[in-house]
Structure 1
Amino acid sequence: MLSAIFLYCCLGGFAGILAGLLGVGGGIVIVPMLVFAFGWQGFPPQYIMLLALGTSLGSIMFTSISSALSHSRRGAVDWRAVGRIAPGIMLGTFCGSHLAALLPKKGLQIFFVCFLAYVVSQMLLGKKPRASRELPGMAGMSCAGGVIGIISSLVGIGGGTLSVPFLIWHNVEIHRAIGTSAAIGFPIAVAGFFGYLVAGWNAVGLPAGSLGYVYLPALCSLVVCSMLTAPIGVRISHSLDVPRLKRCFAVLLIVVGAKMLWDVI
């Protein structure tokens, strides 16, 4: 058990740095590692992925708070944009979690990989959006949030992978886009976390220490370490110039796209 806790702590530390640096929840790293750890601990196979997803979202709730507050202290969070996009994000994530079992994922994954390839090319080539393009109003932001939430649920990614490119496309400076995305990660995580908690409330045969599809020993370890390291990621983020930070985010998108393409193949 101690070796598993050590693994969870290391994973939480890395996820916290990633959240502060790039404004993403770190689920792309946390979920596969939790699947490995839960399998190694001998958890029931039918629950491993559900526990990994629920536990990951629970940790991101706290990581996003730590990261967002650190970015906010540097003036890098557009709280008005967060307030406008949050309702749509939460509704989209909730609906997406219910649609996930009904819709074929391969077509959406292929579309999303193509979208990521386009975003990466724009970042690496230094293409800029039209100077007149600004963030939409309440209705537009809510609709955008709904789309981000639905896609995030259906293809199993964190909202930051979509919200950062969306904000940059509307001429939000990248440091501010990353800080705002970190804050947006909180409503996504809350909606998803409670969805998995409720869905697994009456599940039979869950390992001891589970609350619905959330494994509390892993959650506590992830939370403590990720909240300690998220400010480190924020400091690294604000010490990098814009072109270098864009290249870092482009690398993340390449990793996400490659994993998704591998899943399809």
Structure 2
Amino acid sequence: MPEIADIAILAVALAAAGAVAGLLAGIFGIGGGAVLVPVFFQVFGLLGVDEAVRMHLSVGTSLAVIVPTSLRSFASHRARGAVDMDLLRTYLIAVPAGVLIAALVFASISSAGLRIVFAALAVLVGLKLIFGRKDWQIGADLPGVAGRFTAGSVIGFLSTLMGIGGGVLNNTFMTLYGRPIHQAVATSAGVGVLISVPGVLGAIWAGWGAGGLPVLSTGYVNWIAVAIIIPVTLSVAPLGVRIAHRLEKRQLELAFGVFMLVVALRFALSVWVG
């Protein structure tokens, strides 16, 4: 049986992490792993979680947190008729296929390798937010079935390795092909469901029997973190939203872009310096 003291320390640390993640998510208008993974990585490190599994645990736990939030968000957006269901039906096999491939990679990639992947993608996202323009478009409408299937597979693969719900990548894909941002955001909620549900199962499978995990972990998912983070982030996020409404959209884009670059630098240094 795990020590009560160990559980209490973990719970307090994660509650603080959830408050930070919720505040940042509210300010930047983005939930999921883009904020949660770096926060988890820091907290699990402070708690002495083995370096070899810390990044994997951060990604897997983030995916578990995304499951209920993406389900709730998708139901809300679908009720308003904002979701592109045709695109989502194309993703129905493509996205989980990408998640499955990512789970196989996840089981064998090193902690350093996973951090490098997150850092590289974080740099791309950060640069896009800082230097991107609204008039950037590849085409007037989304590509055909083959192109959508390829995009869905890539989104599922990369998002799973980052521990994110796919919103950043799918929003970019849809807006580059002329779709309005509100429709992209609504559809991304459904993408989050297609990523997080098989993704968390893959994280459990990939980490089954791994050593050095904190108490009440199943594979690379820590259930104490999941149980604490969800209500804490939901309660703190409105404060971040109020802060966000005092800022211009461009200021938010620049702030989140800088945040992603700082996270990328942090992970890169953790690999190079140790």
Q: Settle same-fold status: TM greater than 0.5.
A: yes
Choose which of 148, 170, 173 in structure 1 pairs with 2:177. Answer: 170
Residue aligning to 2:256: 252
SS of aligned partner of 1:31: helix
Residue aligning to 2:4: none
Residue aligning to 2:127: 117
**Alpha-carbon separation, structure 2, partners of 1:87 and 1:21:** 33
Q: Which deviates further from its counterpart, 158-167 or 98-107?
A: 98-107
Residue aligning to 2:188: 181
AA aligned to 2:83 is: V
**Alpha-carbon separation, structure 1, partners of 2:179 and 2:199:** 27
**Alpha-carbon separation, structure 2, partners of 1:65 and 1:15:** 19
Aligned residues: 259
5+ residue gaps in structure 1? Answer: none
SS of aligned partner of 1:203: coil
State the 1:249 CA deviation: 4.5
Relative distance call for 1:223 and 1:208 in structure 2 (3 A) is: same
Residue aligning to 2:223: 216
Relative distance call for 1:208 and 1:116 in structure 2 (3 A) is: closer
In 2, are the aligned partners of 1:91 and 1:146 still within 8 Å (CA)? yes
**Alpha-carbon separation, structure 1, partners of 2:33 and 2:53:** 17
User: CA-atom RMSD, angstroms?
Assistant: 3.9
**Alpha-carbon separation, structure 1, partners of 2:20 and 2:35:** 9
AA aligned to 1:59 is: V
Residue aligning to 2:100: 94
State the 1:204 CA deviation: 4.0
State the 1:255 CA deviation: 2.6
Correspondence list, 1:1-265, <5 A: 1-2=7-8, 4-9=10-15, 11-12=17-18, 15=21, 24-99=30-105, 101=108, 113-114=123-124, 117-118=127-128, 120-123=130-133, 126-129=134-137, 133-154=140-161, 158-204=165-211, 206-226=213-233, 244-245=248-249, 248-249=252-253, 251-261=255-265, 263-264=267-268
**Alpha-carbon separation, structure 2, partners of 1:247 and 1:168:** 20
State the 1:39 CA deviation: 3.0
With structure 2 as the length reference, what TM-score do the two structures score?
A: 0.73
With structure 1 as the length reference, what TM-score do the two structures score?
A: 0.75
**Alpha-carbon separation, structure 2, partners of 1:80 and 1:19:** 29
**Alpha-carbon separation, structure 2, partners of 1:220 and 1:107:** 27
State the 1:66 CA deviation: 2.0
